[in-house]
Amino acid sequence: MDLQDLIVSIIVLMALVYLIYSYRNKKNNSGCDNCDVKK
Amino acid sequence: MLRTFSIIGNPNSGKTTVFNALTGLKQKVGNYPGVTVEKKEGKFILPNGDVANLVDLPGTYSLTAFSPDEKIATDVLLNHINSSSKFEAILCVVDASNIERNLFLLSQIIDLNIPCVVVLNMVDVALKSGITIDEDKLSKQLGVPVVKTIAQSKLGIDKLKETLQNHIFPSKNLRKWKIDSVLQKEHSEISQILQKNNLDESSAFHEATQLLSMPTEELLIHPWLTVDLIKIIRKKHEKLDFLEIDRGSAFINSRYDWIKLVCDISVKKKFTEIKNLSDKVDRILTHKFFGFIFFFGIMTFMFQIMFSWVTIPMNWINLFFNFLGTEISKILPSGQIESLVVDGIIGGVGAVISFLPQIVFLFLFLGILEDSGYMARAAFIMDKVMSKVGLHGKSFIPLLSSFACAIPGIMATRTIENEKDRITTMMIAPLMSCSARIPVYTLMIGAFIPNNSIFGIISLPALILVSLYMLGLLAALVFGFIFKKTLLKGATPLFLIELPQYKMPSLRTLFQIMWERSIIFLKRAGTFILAVSIVLWFLASYPKIENANPSEQLEKSFAGKIGKFIEPSIAPLGFDWKIGIGLVTSILQREVFVSTMGTIYNIEDDSNSSLGEKMRTEINQQTGKPSFSILTAICLLVYYVLAMQCLSTIAVMKRETNGWKWPAIQFSYMTLLAYFVTFLVYRIGVLI
């Protein structure tokens, strides 16, 4: 694995963590990013 | 000390506008009833610097709650009396152009002995209709302070704050309306019994009125009545029914007698041309034939503009992202990081952001229709169609909200009293084409549908877009009918809707809507869609295949394998494995389909052509024919109209129905419907 692969792996991992966090948040809040309605 | 006030009023009395004017918040307002369906709070500063808390309650015509949103308002007011978290006074917003009906709610609040200030709103609209109100005389008659406002222009708001700061609210009861003499004795007796059951005088008066007015059979399902009390009240019902007294309307009539007296002294009315003109316009816009023609005409006009003028700023955004990609390629060293930034991030996020002008325009147009008062007319004409499927026009208002997004649409069903009707409306709301579908629609139509015009006026792309919206509406009506005949059987209710006055849409409100929508859209593109694009780029670029060309690399990547895995199940719909990747990722949100296509087509083809051009010119390596045809594009459009591709909607359905049953049924029926209708369209298309 070269340096470029390592950097992109870290970025992809961060994106994955964000997606999981945002999914959990959605499940708890049932808020919508698409509109201004929140719980 | 934090002072607390609450705000209440009839639906569409401008209550939320007063709330926003006081607190500086930007809660959604609309020129149709039922926008506020939840309790909301904000803070404002009184002239002496004290901070005050303001609670906005859903609009209600009376304190006899029927629907879940009205019940919130009634519960808060009734609990206020015994609750520890008391508010100092209530601001009762009264629509000056409709004062008699609005004073009905006020009379009930006065009954409860809650200190209140009347906010006489929309005095400009009243004046145009020939209504002038003497606020001093009105205040004297009601016994409470009255402040005139035009909340939309923030006029009268400072005086309102001063009144709230300086007025000393009396604790004495200000009730002035008289109960009919025959009912008086029975009412007092029940009221006294209730007071012995620990209710205070004003609450007992309110409850006694409710108990005497309600149908006898409803006494049994009353939450806290004892068997003895039920017996006593039933006897009184029998006696009054024997005397042929209409218990249901007797109290209402007495209140209106008093309201008439108040208005005779403080309100002057004269006939005006404007009211007359409004009625004439309504005769056409709510006509059973011309009303529909106007409705469809205005929708077609909107989409026509979307495919002509609005494509100009869209092309600028595309050019900008192409330029950005080229410049970044020059700076970054060639390799995986460059591919991630240019193909993954700019390709994916840029593809979605280029649809910003369409989204902003859609909300501008819906905002104009809403704020001018036309939406309530649209609900009125749709009532005839809705009643055919067993629903009423009240269900159409949540469906109209769903054109923007299904989530506020589902929340707006709280205005529907009947639980079965409410669930039916929620079940069909996601079939209305929401704004998240716009990028998918515009991408496919722009790339594959020729820009011809029909009869020299209507463009083919606009007509296709109207058809997609109509397909969603038709599917919603058909499934509304099916649900009402099977799982959610029930009678068709009557529909009453207040048609608000026509008015010039407020530029401030329109700009606010467009600004908020742009921020929400860009924020999502910069967070969720960015993250999905990065993960998708990884799935489409790894594992690395030595000496493979971009197409082979994509085919053998993780994403390619997922696409190939589901390809046999979507091949009957005319979709290949690349579309399959888009269908899987867009289960999260529909517009992710566009960013997915943006990323995978950028990995394969690094030319500066737009995503639509790349999709249109792509040749299938095995067949030697174009991968996408007009038929494939139409099938994909039909699939996106009908399929439930939205995680947020599923989550909100679970919350609103308190369980997984209805979201599961909704997801299943919509996915199966999308699959079979798309299959049919493809098969018929192949035969033609």
Q: What is the pLDDT of residue A33?
A: 46
Residue environment code for B100-113, b if the CB has 16+ CB neighbours within 10 A, otherwise e: ebbbbbbbbbbbbb
How many Å lie between the alpha carbon of A24 and the closest alpha carbon of chain B?
Answer: 11
The string of pLDDT tens digits covering residues B565-574 is 999 999 999 9
Q: Cβ contact (<8 Å) for A39 and B655? A: yes
Residues of A with CB under 8 A from a CB of B: 4-5, 7-8, 11-12, 15-16, 18-19, 22-23, 26-27, 30-37, 39
Contacts of B379 (CB under 8 A, 6+ apart): B32, B393, B394, B396, B397, B400, B497
B156 and B31 both lie in a single domain: yes
Containing domain of residue B229, as a range? 181-244
B49-65, pLDDT tens digit by residue? Answer: 888 888 888 778 888 76
Q: Is residue B398 part of a domain?
A: no
Q: Does B559 touch chain A (CB under 8 A)?
A: no
Residue B496: inside a domain: no
DSSP3 helix / strand / coil % (chain B, rounded to 5): 65, 5, 30
Q: Residue B478 domain-assigned?
A: no
Query: What is the predicted pLDDT for the residue at B494?
Result: 56
Q: Is B387 on the interface with A (CB under 8 A)?
A: no
> Per-residue pLDDT averaged across B420-425, rounded?
88
Same domain, B225 and B157: no
Q: Of the ranges B67-71, B417-421, B538-542, which one carries the lowest mean pLDDT score?
A: B67-71
CB contact under 8 A, B335 and A39: no
- B597 neighbors B611 (Cβ within 8 angstroms): yes
Nearest to B100, CA basis, from B262, B338, B281, B274: B262
Residue B682 in this model has a pLDDT that exceeds 90: yes
Does residue B421 belong to any structural domain of this protein? Answer: no
CATH number for the domain harbouring residue B127: 3.40.50.300
Sort B251 into a burial class: Cβ within 10 Å, 0-12 / 13-18 / 19+: buried
Residue B458 lies in a domain: no
Give the C-alpha separation, B524 to B320, whole Å.
19
Is B356 at the interface with chain A, CB within 8 A? no
- For B13, counting Cβ atoms within 10 Å of its Cβ (0-12 exposed, 13-18 middle, 19+ buried), the class is buried
Three-state DSSP class for B453? strand
Of the candidates B197, B217, B244, which is a domain's last residue? B244
Q: Which of B115, B132, B165 is the last residue of a domain?
A: B165
Amino acid letter, B579: I
Nearest CB among A15, A27, A35 relative to B405 is that of: A35
Interface contact flag, B652 A32, Cβ < 8 Å = yes
Q: What whole-number distance in Å separates Cα of residue B266 and Cα of residue B83?
A: 35
User: Measuring CA to CA, which residue among B555, B551, B572, B574 is closest to residue B564?
Assistant: B555
On the question of pLDDT at B120 being above 90, the answer is yes
Regarding whether B324 and B194 lie in a shared domain, the answer is no
The shortest C-alpha distance from B408 to chain A (Å) reads 6
From B44-48, B68-72, B660-664, the region with the lowest mean pLDDT:
B68-72
The nearest alpha carbon in chain B to A24 belongs to B651
Summarised one tens digit per residue, pLDDT across range B614-663 is 888 888 777 778 888 899 999 999 999 999 988 888 888 888 888 889 99
pTM: 0.69
Q: Are residues B26 and B100 in the same domain?
A: yes
- A39 against B513, higher pLDDT: B513
Quick one: pLDDT at residue B370?
80
Residue B413's pLDDT band (boundaries 50, 70, 90)? confident
Q: ipTM value of the model? A: 0.83
- Put simply, the answer to whether A5 touches B524 (Cβ < 8 Å) is no
Q: Of the candidates A8, A27, A32, which has its C-beta nearest B337's C-beta?
A: A8
Quick check: B589 pLDDT over 90? no
- The answer to whether residues B160 and B238 belong to one domain is no
Secondary structure percentages of chain A, helix, strand, coil, to 5:
70, 0, 30
Contacts of A34 in chain B (CB under 8 A): 405, 407, 434-436, 520, 524, 589, 648
Burial class (CB in 10 A: 0-12, 13-18, 19+), B686: exposed
Kindly state whether residues B213 and B311 are assigned to the same domain: no
B530, A15: Cβ pair inside 8 Å?
yes
**3-class DSSP state of B473:** helix
Pairwise CB contact (< 8 Å): A34 & B407: yes
Residue with tokens 């299938």: B620
Last residue of a domain, one of B244, B262, B295: B244
Taking the C-alpha atoms of residue B412 and residue B37, their distance in angstroms, rounded to an integer, is 6
Residues 6+ apart with CB under 8 A from B352: B439, B525, B529, B591, B594, B595, B598
Which among A11, A18, A26 has CB closest to B647? A26
Indicate whether B576 and B648 sit together in one domain. yes
For residue B210, tell me if it sits in a domain: yes
Interface test with B, best of A3, A14, A26, A35 (most B CBs within 10 A): A35
User: Number of structural domains, chain B?
Assistant: 3
> Residue B177 above 80 pLDDT?
yes
The pLDDT value given to residue B83: 52
CB B149 within 8 A of CB B155: yes
Distance between CA B93 and CA B61 in Å, rounded? 11
Which residue type, as a one-letter code, is found at position B211?
A: L
Query: Per-residue DSSP letters for B82-121?
Result: H-SS--SEEEEEEEGGGHHHHHHHHHHHHHTT--EEEEEE
Are both B24 and B103 inside the same structural domain?
A: yes
Give the mean pLDDT of chain B.
84
Cβ-Cβ contacts under 8 Å, B435 against chain A:
34
Mean pLDDT of B416-441: 88
**3-state secondary structure (DSSP) of residue B680:** helix
| Segment B264-310, tens digit of pLDDT | 999 888 766 556 677 788 888 888 888 888 988 888 888 888 778 88
**B160 and B188, same domain (yes or no):** no
B30 assigned to some structural domain: yes
pLDDT at B80: 54
Same-domain check for residues B544 and B629: yes
Q: Under a CB-based contact definition with an 8 Å cutoff, are residues B111 and B206 in contact? A: yes
Select from B70, B139, B79 the least CA-distant residue to B112: B79
Interface test with B, best of A1, A28, A32, A38 (most B CBs within 10 A): A32
What Å distances lie between residue A20 and A24, B352, B651, CA to CA?
6, 21, 15
Distance from CA of B550 to the nearest CA of A (A): 18
pLDDT tens, position by position, B222-243:
767 788 888 888 888 888 888 8
Residue B328 shares a structural domain with residue B233: no
Same domain, yes or no: B220 and B327:
no
**DSSP code for B31:** S
Asked if the structure places residue B570 within a domain, the reply is yes
Contact A35 B520 (CB under 8 A): yes
**DSSP symbol at B221:** G
